[in-house]
Amino acid sequence: MMNKLLQIRPLDPVINRDGRPFGATPGAIAYSMRDFSPSLIAGTVRTMLGKQLSRSSSNSEVFRSESVAAVKKLTIRGPLYRRGETWFFPFPKDLHCYMEEGELKVSFKCPIGSQSTLRGGFYGTGKYGLHEEELWPVAMPKYGKEWKGIPEYISEPLMIQWLAGSIHEHVIEKMKVLLEQWRDRQGSSGGEIKQAWHERISEAEKHFMEAFAVDRRTHTAIDENTYSSKDEALFEVESVVVPSDVSLLAEVQWPEQGLEWPERLSVIHSLGGKRRLAHFQEWEGPSFGSCPEEISKALDQRKYVRMVLVTPAYFAKGWRPGWLDEKLETNEKWPYGVKLKLRWACVPGWLPISGWSYSNNRNGSGREKAVRRMVPAGSVYFFEVKDGNPRDLAEKGWLATVSDKDRRKGTFDAEDGFGLAIWGAWQPLCEKLVEETERVARN
């Protein structure tokens, strides 16, 4: 297999509908998700490549062609976002931002330590909660309210610093300074921005990116017989507006034999609903790459490791991966040699993922896909290393999929790019306090 990178630049606002029903009811609203699901990108890329190989623009002819049978089995990773020369990841959920007496506070949200170090029950489940013996308590601020202005995406350099050194105070302090600058940027509405202030926040703009804007437009239904607008049949459609300097990157694992890659690929193709257009082009820049050296060094022989989801993941048991047994330890389904035990999971909720499929449909009209509950991107899983070196885990599993296989036919989460994960280090707060006490005593 050889890896081919595709750069996708939406030319129009993209209709990226969520799973809520939408029909011909007057006043209905077609809601769009603010992010692009891996299945949307994977399905679009396969269709585009199938059309390029079959030299046809008809969906029915494309899906009947011989080459498309192999194209439908392609493994595609993504999407990842790139602005200028910088990659961006989803903002990690363990980076805790809250307001206390008008001041922005930043902390590392992680387990305190084993139950034996504390009295009382597990946070959020009561004294005798499920997995209480395996999961550890979590430190939370006594006061303060969660800050609602958190960025949606964080730059790769800053994310690597967070994964490698969030246990250090100077990394948390740097995050606080940059997020304060980002907050000042959000609060500057109206009037011209002074040059000095603009220079002060430019560093924050390099490292953070807000959620994509949503464009809502009002339409009227068309009568099928007269082709004129119907009375009292207005509806609204939301679409996602991707900034012109932001592109989506997807990696295609292309077989070296059997299929011929379209050379100098550059094509306009639809993306999302209502045939909104995007430019697809082969990208010659650096690929998704391997594990950064900073992460490898930070994880070498470490006792604790955390997993951050870069794309939404499907787990057969809801929030819990299928490669964890009843004691929350990795089982025979785990493809890497390092044995892990889950100590806590920072999952904000579930994400509905649906879609539309034209494949294997006789009349060519397509059919809707079932709505499934995914673990959102940015969720963090905290593990204790029971055996092996987590450095090997990060180097083999950097941006690899951790999704479970769905029992439903026609759903290929691993092949579509669901559950791409990156890895970092962490340390229980109780052990960190012990180390700091010993360090102060030595000095």
CATH number at residue 266: 2.40.30
Strand partners, 273: 15
Characterize 174-211 residue by residue with b for buried, 16 or more Cβ atoms within 10 angstroms of its Cβ, and e for exposed.
Answer: bbbebbebbbebeeeeeeeeeeeeeeebeebbebbbbe
304 and 418 fall within a common domain: yes
Bridging pattern class, strands 229-241 and 29-30: parallel
376 and 418 fall within a common domain: yes
pLDDT, position 442: 62
pLDDT, position 280: 97
Q: Quick check: is 343 in a domain?
A: yes
Give the relative orientation of helices 169-186 and 156-165 as an angle to the nearest 10 degrees.
140
Q: pTM for this structure? A: 0.89
Whole-angstrom distance, CA of residue 229 vs CA of residue 235: 12
Characterize 217-249 residue by residue with b for buried, 16 or more Cβ atoms within 10 angstroms of its Cβ, and e for exposed.
Answer: eeeebeeeeeeeeeeebebebbbbebeeebbbb
DSSP state of 256: S
298 and 330 fall within a common domain: yes
312 and 402 fall within a common domain: yes
Domain that holds residue 408: 293-431
Q: Quick check: is 220 in a domain?
A: no
**Peptide bond between residue 79 and the one before it cis (omega within 30 degrees of 0):** yes
* Domain of residue 307, CATH code: 2.60.40.4350
Q: Could you tell me which residues come within 8 angstroms of residue 171 by beta carbon, excluding any fewer than 6 positions away?
A: 161, 162, 165
298 and 327 fall within a common domain: yes
Q: Quick check: is 271 in a domain?
A: yes
DSSP state of 210: P
Q: Quick check: is 93 in a domain?
A: yes
Whole-angstrom distance, CA of residue 72 vs CA of residue 29: 32
261 and 322 fall within a common domain: no
**Closest CA relative to residue 299, chosen from 383, 207, 403, 379:** 383
262 and 327 fall within a common domain: no
Q: Is the dihedral of CA 412, 414, 420, 425 positive or negative?
A: positive
pLDDT, position 319: 92
298 and 400 fall within a common domain: yes
What's at 326, amino acid-wise?
E
60 and 182 fall within a common domain: no
Give the count of beta carbons closer than 10 Å to the beta carbon of residue 431: 16
Which structure tokens are listed for 140? Answer: 């939370």
Q: Quick check: is 228 in a domain?
A: no
Q: What are phi and psi of 127, to 5 degrees?
A: -75, -30
Characterize 291-326 residue by residue with b for buried, 16 or more Cβ atoms within 10 angstroms of its Cβ, and e for exposed.
Answer: bbeebbebbeebebbbbbbbbbbbbeeeebbbbbee
CB 13 within 8 A of CB 237: no
CB 8 within 8 A of CB 278: yes
Q: Quick check: is 152 in a domain?
A: yes
Domain count, the chain: 3
pLDDT, position 191: 42
Whole-angstrom distance, CA of residue 341 vs CA of residue 352: 28
- In this structure, what is the dihedral angle of CA atoms 278, 279, 282, 284, given to the nearest 10 degrees? -110
Q: Could you tell me which residues come within 8 angstroms of residue 70 by beta carbon, excluding any fewer than 6 positions away?
A: 255, 258, 259
Task: Give the pLDDT of the chain (443 residues) as one tens digit per residue.
Answer: 788 999 999 999 999 888 788 876 788 898 888 999 999 999 899 989 988 888 766 666 666 777 777 888 899 998 999 998 899 999 999 999 999 888 999 988 888 877 555 544 444 444 556 677 788 888 777 667 889 899 999 999 999 999 998 778 889 999 999 999 898 876 654 444 444 444 555 778 889 999 999 999 998 888 888 889 888 889 999 999 999 999 999 999 998 887 888 888 999 999 998 889 999 999 987 777 789 999 999 999 999 999 999 999 999 888 999 999 999 999 998 988 899 999 999 999 898 888 776 655 555 566 777 788 899 999 999 999 999 999 999 999 999 999 987 655 545 688 899 999 999 999 888 777 656 555 655 66
77 and 187 fall within a common domain: no
What is the residue whose two structure tokens read 């439908």?
A: 72
- In this structure, what is the dihedral angle of CA atoms 298, 302, 306, 307, given to the nearest 10 degrees? 70
CB 14 within 8 A of CB 272: yes
148 and 257 fall within a common domain: no
304 and 376 fall within a common domain: yes
Which structure tokens are listed for 296? Answer: 């490898």
